[in-house]
Structure 1
Amino acid sequence: MPVRAVPPADPTLEDFGRDPWWLIGGKVLAIFAFLMVTMLVAMWVERRVIGRMQLRTGPNRAGPAGLLQGVADAFKLALKEDIVPRQVDKVVFVLAPIMSAVPAFISFAIIPFGPTVSVFGHHTPLQGTDLPVAVLVVLAMSSMGVYGIVLAGWSSMSPYSLLGGLRSSAQVISYEIAMGLSFVAVFLFAGTMSTTGIVNAQADRWFILLLLPSFIIYVITMMGESNRIPFDLPEGEGELVGGFHTEYSSLKFAMFFLAEYINLATLSALATTLFLGGWRAPAPISTVWEGANTGWWPVLWFLVKMWAFIFFFIWLRGSLPRVRYDQLMRLGWKVLMPASLGWILLVATVRALRNEGYDMRQIALYTAIVAGVVLVATVLWELLRGEGDKDEQIVREVTPTAGFPVPPMDAPHYHGHR
């Protein structure tokens, strides 16, 4: 296959599958090394940032400014005794951490880091691979990762671990449907599910400007996907000790820890790809500098955007408390899903009218009016119905005055009645 002399600035789906074997292997190793380094740096940044937010120093002993603290923790976990409880299902108990960590690595293969570049004379896109349904691969891998959490809770034969696994399965249904629906508007505007095509479609304007509701819905759902505060209910220490990984130790626990931080990077990179133009430079830089979106410079813009999202995750963890489980379920089923469906219908209508040649200014005006009316009607409906007040009243009536969630002592069960 002849090699083109001048690589195109914007890769397409047809540019994949032509690399030699050594270049494919190099991409795989580069993605693996990038994720491992990102995990170690994210751990250090999270501890330092939250330490400053809580008036602490954070890690400052292992290496300069504590940079080697993650490496020290990895050695510590590897050298700890691997305890396997006697009553567990050993096969599933061992496979669960692997099922949680491996899909996290696979999801990053379809993330574009930059345009087509020259590597030892071969022109190749800065991306592991691409597919016509690449974004759906990320959803599939995230669902597979939940299997590892659920099986870890079930195989541990512990009530706390089982409850953590069940919470994770219920949580993934409530937020992943809304997450998938938030992608539909992106597919409608880009005309493809390929990550390369989505980045190319944002050459003139990023989708965060056109599809702001989809972006907000995705940001909320990706916090649930990462099992982090305020949605870290499968690991709620206050009521479940450690959640689904209570019985795990040594390297098995480290793999769950690894999967959480790799998912953090993957979700941030996917948000960058779908809504922030991917590897493209921001408007002030791209307009002034013609070469901002060529060569290896786009890798820098991609990393800046991705780390901005990672910092956003860390900032939320240090700022927000954990929500109640019924609040999370209500948010997923009664807010995010209806909002996603309504927004998709609105976007599809706008696209259809635009294809028919209608004036976009009038369409935008009517769209804003309809969205405002629906929002006001929804708020008035909730206020008139007063469902939130009823739920809070029920909680106050059932919960004893002592503050501990136990049944009242005068219940028939405590008097020996059936």
Structure 2
Amino acid sequence: MTHLLDSLSEFQIFLLITIVKVVVVLVITLTAVAYTVLLERKLIGRMQNRWGPSRVGPFGLLQPLADGIKLFLKEDLTPLATEKPLFLIAPIIALTCALISVATVPFGAMHRVVVNGKANADIFQIADINVGLLVILGITSIGVYGIALSGWASNNKFALLGSLRATAQVISYELALGLSLVGVVLRAGSLRLRDIVDVQSTHGLLSWNILGGFAREPDGHGVVGWTVVGGFQLLAFFIYLMAAYAETNRSPFDLPEAESELVAGYHTEYSSMKFAMFFMAEYANMITVSCVATLLFFGGASSPLGHLLPDNFGGPILAAIFPILWFVAKIFCFLFLYIWVRSTLPRFRYDQLMDFGWKFLLPVAMANIVATSLVLALRG
């Protein structure tokens, strides 16, 4: 093995490491998607005073596997009147965009690996891009094309209405979502996700963008004084959360697939693995939204305890594992909130959905940008 690595060039080693990272992250993401479905079914069952899946495997833990086998073995039906090429490519677009956006997410502390002095790569992030936030927003925006094409290509009135609703909804709420992140970018001075996380890692949870506080720090002359830390972006987080629910077509904004009105919305005519791809894309988008919220407002993989624990606490292995555990715990909290909201709140009417996005979230997001800019200008 050593002789093999010695014979490889720096680019080949870097490519090999990247392929390994892609495979590992893809497997973990797809597994997380499967068990997020189980988590939702179990939690909603408990909230509605029933058991949820409990028959397949211990505590129902093998239910995602059984669901996957069932969907794979179901008959794959394609109606005769569909626009077949677009009908087939629509779920592929939706799932591909949902999975690609995870590539720029740093899910642990920065740990670089060097092999024979030839390669230097961050093992806890696939692609460290200096405009990583824009990449995520751009890729997730393209995902709506899969929904729009599926509704049009199905030649079904319910599917078409669902896709039109989804398109209008995504366009309306993308504005508020993008503007809600401007305050975070202004504070960090960068669109690179690592930089945004680093700004929030100095004083634990007090430094997080959702909060704000005071900490004792030396100034440039060595005098210790109280300094304002944190981003005070609680309002921006609320806007982001509401817009993210609408972007992912989740309750109470699930108008594109409202069962009582549109049968199943844009995937009415889909079956077997094509339906499963839309299903997986929805839950993958939920995980992506949770990752972005964690990175931008809750300090990413940084500890809420700040520097109370040293960076080398427990040795190099635990120092690498603890940030991942913090990151996963924060994502779990967001997924729990997603499920809690679904089981609690009723669905909006469509006019209420549009009014909320254009008449409330958008003006408040713009006001938050003005206020944040003013505070940063006075502080600087």
Q: CA offset at residue 19 of structure 1?
A: 6.4
Cα distance in structure 1, aligned partners of 2:27 and 2:363: 40
Cα gap change, 1:91/1:345 in structure 2, threshold over 3 Å: closer, same or farther? Answer: same
Equivalenced residues, count: 338
C-alpha contact 2:105 2:125 (8 A) present in aligned 1: yes
Counterpart pick for 1:154 among 146, 152, 155: 152
The aligned residue for residue 69 of structure 2 is: 75
Cα distance in structure 2, aligned partners of 1:197 and 1:72: 42
1:248 aligns with 2:270: yes
C-alpha contact 1:117 1:296 (8 A) present in aligned 2: no
Cα distance in structure 2, aligned partners of 1:329 and 1:135: 26
The aligned residue for residue 94 of structure 1 is: 88
Q: CA offset at residue 290 of structure 1?
A: 4.4
Question: Could you give the per-residue CA deviations for residues 192-240 of structure 1, whole angstroms, max 9, x where no partner exists?
Answer: 0010111111122111112111111111111111111111100000110
1:227 aligns with 2:225: no
Q: CA offset at residue 295 of structure 1?
A: 2.2
Counterpart pick for 1:328 among 343, 353, 363: 353
Calculate the TM-score normalised by the size of structure 2.
0.86
The aligned residue for residue 327 of structure 2 is: 302
Cα distance in structure 2, aligned partners of 1:119 and 1:142: 30
The Cα RMSD (Å) is 1.7
Matches within 5 A, 1:399-418: none
Cα distance in structure 2, aligned partners of 1:74 and 1:294: 36
Counterpart pick for 2:193 among 192, 195, 218: 195
Q: CA offset at residue 123 of structure 1?
A: 5.7
Highest RCO, 1 vs 2 (Cα 8 Å, sep ≥ 6):
2
Matches within 5 A, 1:17-416: 20-117=14-111, 124-125=121-122, 126-204=124-202, 205-209=207-211, 210-283=232-305, 286-291=307-312, 294-355=319-380
C-alpha contact 1:19 1:124 (8 A) present in aligned 2: no
C-alpha contact 1:117 1:123 (8 A) present in aligned 2: no
Question: Could you give the per-residue CA deviations for residues 349-401 of structure 1, whole angstroms, max 9, x where no partner exists?
Answer: 2212222xxxxxxxxxxxxxxxxxxxxxxxxxxxxxxxxxxxxxxxxxxxxxx
Q: Which amino acid aligns with 2:165?
A: R
C-alpha contact 1:116 1:124 (8 A) present in aligned 2: no
Cα gap change, 1:21/1:233 in structure 2, threshold over 3 Å: closer, same or farther? Answer: same
Q: Which amino acid aligns with 1:85?
A: P
Secondary structure (helix, strand or coil) at the match of 2:111 reads strand
Query: Greater Rg, structure 1 or structure 2?
Result: 1
Calculate the TM-score normalised by the size of structure 1.
0.78
The aligned residue for residue 13 of structure 1 is: none
Cα gap change, 1:301/1:115 in structure 2, threshold over 3 Å: closer, same or farther? Answer: same
C-alpha contact 1:185 1:211 (8 A) present in aligned 2: yes
C-alpha contact 1:116 1:123 (8 A) present in aligned 2: no
User: Could you tell me the percent identity over the aligned residues?
Assistant: 46
Q: CA offset at residue 117 of structure 1?
A: 2.5
Q: CA offset at residue 116 of structure 1?
A: 2.5
Cα distance in structure 2, aligned partners of 1:263 and 1:78: 22
Question: Could you give the per-residue CA deviations for residues 134-170 of structure 1, whole angstroms, max 9, x where no partner exists?
Answer: 1111111111110000110001111100000000011
Q: CA offset at residue 44 of structure 1?
A: 1.1
256-265 vs 345-354, which moves further? 345-354
Cα distance in structure 2, aligned partners of 1:52 and 1:262: 23
Displaced runs of 4 or more, over 3 A = 118-124, 288-294
Cα gap change, 1:18/1:325 in structure 2, threshold over 3 Å: closer, same or farther? Answer: farther
Q: Which amino acid aligns with 2:171?
A: I
Q: CA offset at residue 113 of structure 1?
A: 1.0
Question: Could you give the per-residue CA deviations for residues 316-368 of structure 1, whole angstroms, max 9, x where no partner exists?
Answer: 1111111111111000000000000111011112212222xxxxxxxxxxxxx
Q: CA offset at residue 289 of structure 1?
A: 4.7
Q: Which amino acid aligns with 1:347?
A: T
The aligned residue for residue 225 of structure 2 is: none
Cα distance in structure 2, aligned partners of 1:33 and 1:179: 29
Unaligned runs of 5+ in 2: 1-10, 212-231
Cα distance in structure 2, aligned partners of 1:243 and 1:18: 46
Secondary structure (helix, strand or coil) at the match of 1:115 reads coil
Secondary structure (helix, strand or coil) at the match of 1:177 reads helix
Q: CA offset at residue 119 of structure 1?
A: 5.1
